[in-house]
Structure 1
Amino acid sequence: MLWRPFGINETIPTTIGALTVLVAGIVPWMDVLNIFDIIRGASLTILSTIMMSIVLESIVFFGGLL
């Protein structure tokens, strides 16, 4: 996103758009649940990797400054 109108965070219009599509019935709720079921394992792996690197960085596991 190159330009932010009124300084709005990019998550706000996307969330409003997603909720509008769901409330309008364009995408059924079961499809959303199926997608969450499919990506659950991968998203947990990514979050776990991020948490592990934060912890390892806090104990200076990666060496620190040279």
Structure 2
Amino acid sequence: MSGHSRKEHELEIELEASTVLEQGRRIMAHEPHKYPELIESFVDNIRLLSRKTGEFVGERR
């Protein structure tokens, strides 16, 4: 790395467990639920953060 120290960072992405459990309970009870939307938005947020991280790393090179 040509004399530069490498920095590593960690990012935690959390999802409210009670919300996931409630949506799972609704599925099991055959009640209306938003489980797919909940998980899809969570994964979309991960994708967005991943893209932004790649853009940031690209700018620093």
TM-score bracket, shorter-length normalisation = 0.3 to 0.5
**Structure 2 length-normalised TM:** 0.42
Instruction: Tell me which protein shows more helix as a share of its residues.
Output: 1
**Structure 1 length-normalised TM:** 0.40
Higher relative contact order (CA 8 A, sep 6+): 2
